[in-house]
Amino acid sequence: MNTLGISCYYHDAAAALVVDGNVVAAAAEERFTRIKHDNSFPQHAIRFCLHWTNLKPEDIDEVVFYEKPVIKFERILMQHLEGFPKSGKIFVENIGSWIQYKLNIPKTLKRVIGYDGPISYLPHHLSHAAVTYYLSPFTEAAIVTVDGVGEWATTTMGNAHGNTIRIDREIHFPHSLGLLYSAITAYLGFEVNDAEYKVMGMAAYGDPKPFRKQFDELITSFADGSYALNMSYFDYVWSDRMYGKKLERLFGYPTRPKESRLEQHYADIAAALQEKLETTMYNLVNASYEKYKTPNLCLSGGVALNSVMNGKLLSHTKFKKIFIPPDPGDGGCAIGAALCRSVQQTKKRNMFSFFPNVGPSFPDDQIEDILKQYNLRYKMYDRSELISYTAKLLTKNKVIGWFQGRMEWGPRALGNRSILASARDEKMKDLINAKIKHRELFRPFAPVVLSPYIKQYFKTDEYLSPSLRYMLMVYPFKPKGKRDVPATAHVDGSGRLQVIERADNPLYYDLIEEYRKLTGIPIILNTSFNVRGEPIVCTPQDAINCFLKTDIDQLVIGPYIISK
């Protein structure tokens, strides 16, 4: 059975193809259009999925959309009616796109790719629940999903046994942990639905104490795990502005100007926000444990991208094991929707260890033709030579653009579309931020550690979640880690680590193992292969363009190494 899942029209449009219960191809639309967080209909991602599997539109048994547009439209109508007349302007601006695009999925599928077969629509948070449970190693689990908003739900609690997922409780719009975090992200001078992770990084520089009372005013938690926002501080119900002047008065400071210097009071606000998110989630997750009494937790929704929170959940709740999918946000719902319908239709769930290298790849001869078109000097290496030479470059503090195999699924570069460097010199972090990524200097980089050595370098939970492979959890470094790889230690001594298993990515693993043999250190620095404001590279042309306009020293692309 061939099931195509799609998500679009809010942010992070994507497509995923599930064949006989297995994810065979998936990609975000932004990687092809080069528009970060592209929310348009994912025509390029769909065409990739079909091309990769040699399928035609008529070979698709069913297309599954990641939410129910009619119910979402009902919520938006109610939202604007309640906010009228203040909401009139934003309603007029949005209604056209709903009528033309968002309520016309069948017409768009037929016009763009020629598909006119069956279409299903799943509840948004069921798509979130499905991607985390059906990719997890669990046969039963509690499921918690938390995001900005789906149709009406912003948070759900449910469980799964065998093939069946059941959602029991929901918190509805406008009360939303995701929208709270986004509102403060905007207040702190960053872009909503883009820079929440910057606020998470900024929080490590702050002290939550000066603003705890203010956040107690903004959100209240209850004994059953639920919560409620004080909506008098927020305008997003009726406006395209997230918050009002009352929020600025509460904090005592105006909105932080974009790109301005990081002042301490803004860092303290970020720290208090992060703390409030964590304590609210502990309450919610513990309530889920009390209801379902299972040791296994599956977490999804955009809030599950908060890797600092993720790394604390097992130590602050009663769950013993946790799983978070490689993309718990809206893009991941394309996989979730397709897997959910596949299971519903076949009554069978395939259990597999999922590593998200399910995007495009490019044959060596095609890469070489492109290198010739750019008139670049390059040298071809066999596998062992490539590993040996690249590892030696890393020991010399060279910054490497690493482009290999199939592109990863999700927001993290996991070793196929990465910028790599040695982490032994603390100055490497500032160098890459300033001269290559062109981004804020407070932003940390991920340590990639070979799986046998994780306990030597990090203070982790006893249970090592498979999600550590997806760079979704932050843990404190042990003293040895802070000493050996300071370029990947954040200001609070933590790291958003990626644990690499050889079975997941043999070339990547063997490169780090060769580096370990040369240096004694089984960790290197990994960051996504892109510059600020652009998606991660997808094609050889994307990689070459990024290489040429930054201070990356060498590009390792397929079997070829290009120097400047």
**Average pLDDT over all residues of the chain:** 95
> 500 near 515, Cβ under 8 Å?
no
Looking at the predicted structure, is the pLDDT value of residue 78 above 90?
Answer: no
Architecture of domain 364-563: Alpha-Beta Complex (3.90)
Residue 274 CA from chain centroid, whole number: 17
The number of residues making up the chain comes to 564
Q: Name the CATH superfamily housing domain 177-323.
A: ATPase, nucleotide binding domain (3.30.420.40)
Output b/e per residue, 356-392; b: 16+ Cβ within 10 A: bbbbbebeeeebbebbeeeebebeebeeeebbbebbe
- pLDDT for the residue 239: 84
Shared fold status for 177-323 and 364-563: no
499 with 463: CB under 8 angstroms?
no
Least confident of 83-87, 160-164, 256-260, 290-294: 83-87
H helical segments located in 328-401: 333-346, 364-373, 383-395
Q: pLDDT digit string (tens) for 140-158?
A: 999 999 999 999 999 999 9
Q: Do β-strands 219-221 and 560-563 pair in parallel, antiparallel, or remain unpaired? A: unpaired
Asked whether the predicted pLDDT for residue 82 surpasses 80, the reply is no
Structure tokens at 31: 């990687």
Q: What is the mean pLDDT of residues 417-435?
A: 93
Q: What is the CATH number of domain 2-66+68-121+330-346?
A: 3.30.420.40
Q: Is the pLDDT of residue 438 over 90?
A: no
Give me the helices (H) in 136-176, please.
Answer: none
For residue 258, name the pLDDT band (cuts at 50, 70, 90).
very high
The rounded distance, in Å, linking the Cα atoms of 401 and 551 is 10
Residue 16: CB partners within 8 Å, gap ≥ 6? 4, 5, 6, 23, 25, 26, 49, 334, 335, 337, 338, 358, 409
Give me the pLDDT at residue 88, please: 64
Residue 329: the pLDDT is: 97
- Are 90 and 81 in contact, with CB atoms under 8 Å apart? no
Kindly report, residue by residue over 209-239, the tens digit of the pLDDT.
Answer: 999 999 999 999 999 999 999 999 999 988 8
- For residue 166, what is the DSSP state? E
Domain definitions of the chain by residue range: 2-66+68-121+330-346, 177-323, 364-563
Residues 30 and 542: their CA atoms lie apart, in Å, by 12
Query: Residues 149-201: pLDDT tens digits?
Result: 999 999 999 999 999 999 999 999 999 999 999 999 999 999 999 999 999 99
Chain centroid to CA 7? 15
Phi and psi at residue 145, to the nearest 5°: -125, 135
At 87 the pLDDT is 65
User: What average pLDDT does the segment 342-360 reach?
Assistant: 95
Least Cα distance to 211 among 258, 274, 260, 259 occurs for: 274
Q: Is the pLDDT of residue 284 over 80?
A: yes
Which of 20, 288, 3 has its CA nearest to residue 170? 288
In sequence order, the β-bridge partners of residue 166 are 159
